[in-house]
Amino acid sequence: MNRFDERDTIFSRLELVPGSKQYDSYYTNRPELKDTDDRLRTLSAGVYAHDRSNMARIDSAFRFLKDIRPLAPGPAKAENSSQNAISIKEIEQGLHAAAMDYGAVLYGQAVLGLECFYSVRGRGPAYGKPVNNPHRNALIFAVEMNRGKISHAPRPEEAVEVTRAYVRVAVIGMILSYFLRELGYEARCHMDGESELILPAAAQVAGLGKIGRIGLLLTPDFGPRVRLGAVTTNFPAASFSGSNLNEAHQPADYCARCDLCARRCPGKAIPFKAALETGKVGLQNTTAAKKADTNVAPETKNSPWKIEHKACFAIWKKFGTDCGICVSVCPYGEAQ
């Protein structure tokens, strides 16, 4: 099983503090990445850094998310007699209703393969720990990001909307996890910065959409304008949504005819050509291939299109926001 090590993501690498044990250890193993990563680390705050009001909204949302990360895992309530008092179907209905009540627009249940899980954690206190989640049953959900606000990309108003979505989807994950724990089941929330899952891959399995050229999940009704969350659990769900995806929903075909995101990407991070044409066919079980693929976003490792994370992140640093131009221009889901 070929799984992605979260420590190789650009987000993990750029969190490493020069001089720390983790930094020294990582770049001892990956010396070829050190110079370019160090250069990214030292770039200035970005052209929109002066917008203190919006930047404070973004930073405060991420600080809040960081503060609630320790709540993502948690114990099931010891007394579980209520498990027997409510049917599986009723619990499923309750989970779905709760997700929608708290703002989800898409919801699915799936049994995930190990390829949806990172092999090793790369962020926060769990850095370097193997992912050994015993549960394959998962609830996956998405919130919509407002089209008008996303259209401000790459300005900070877009990033405010993205962080608002991260917060909403984390709250949904927490609520569903607490709900299941209340009923005596084990449940773990996967959210920004605290996820054992490659969320777009998991959402694809759950039938919420498919990964497109942009490297993000393209959903039938909202295109890439969603943020994803998930809960893994030992709750024995009886219904799974993976087959519910509309047969007509085929982003690969659509993206093959559309390259708008690639043309508008200021970092040239989105490929015009599919991987088979360029020879990049995803992670292979060789050290050389793994090194070559380090800058590919994990959710695109099995996709025909590989996103160059480093090139994208350099643009984020330049703007001081998460750019988002590709999401704002993508027509998928808008004219279906």
Q: Report the C-alpha gap between 301 and 283 in whole angstroms.
A: 6
Q: Nearest approach, Cβ of 260 to ligand SF4 (angstroms)?
A: 4
Name the phi and psi angles at 311, rounded to 5.
-65, -40
With binding defined as CB under 6 A, does residue 254 bind ligand SF4? Answer: yes
Q: What is the DSSP string of 33-54?
A: HHHHHHHHHHS-S-TTTT-HHH
**Of the listed pieces 38-46, 59-67, 117-125, 208-216, which binds ligand SF4 according to CB under 6 A?**
208-216
**Of the listed pieces 86-94, 141-149, 181-189, 324-332, which binds ligand SF4 according to CB under 6 A?**
324-332
**Of the listed pieces 99-107, 236-244, 287-295, 328-336, which binds ligand SF4 according to CB under 6 A?**
328-336
- Binding ligand SF4 by CB under 6 A: which of 14, 111, 258, 281? 258
With binding defined as CB under 6 A, does residue 213 bind ligand SF4? Answer: yes
Token representation of residue 159: 């990033």
- Binding ligand SF4 by CB under 6 A: which of 115, 259, 292, 302? 259
Q: Nearest approach, Cβ of 115 to ligand SF4 (angstroms)?
A: 22
H helix runs in 17-112, sequence order: 21-29, 31-42, 52-68, 82-85, 88-101
With binding defined as CB under 6 A, does residue 174 bind ligand SF4? Answer: no
> Of 279, 284, 311, which Cα lies nearest the Cα of 295?
311
Token representation of residue 182: 């209340």
Residue 263-282 contact track with ligand SF4, rule CB under 6 A, x = bound: --xxx-xx------------
Of 213 and 249, the one with the shorter C-beta distance to ligand SF4 is: 213
Find the farthest-apart pair of alpha carbons in the chain and give their distance in angstroms, rounded. Answer: 59
Q: Report the C-alpha gap between 184 and 88 in whole angstroms.
A: 13
Q: Nearest approach, Cβ of 117 to ligand SF4 (angstroms)?
A: 24
Q: Nearest approach, Cβ of 259 to ligand SF4 (angstroms)?
A: 5
With binding defined as CB under 6 A, does residue 65 bind ligand SF4? Answer: no
Q: Report the C-alpha gap between 316 and 266 in whole angstroms.
A: 10
Q: Nearest approach, Cβ of 270 to ligand SF4 (angstroms)?
A: 5
Token representation of residue 7: 């420590």
For 260, residues 6+ apart whose C-beta sits below 8 A from its C-beta are 329, 330, 331
For 1, residues 6+ apart whose C-beta sits below 8 A from its C-beta are 114, 115
Q: Interface residues with ligand SF4 (CB under 6 A)?
A: 212-214, 254-255, 258-261, 265-267, 269-270, 312, 315, 323-326, 330-332
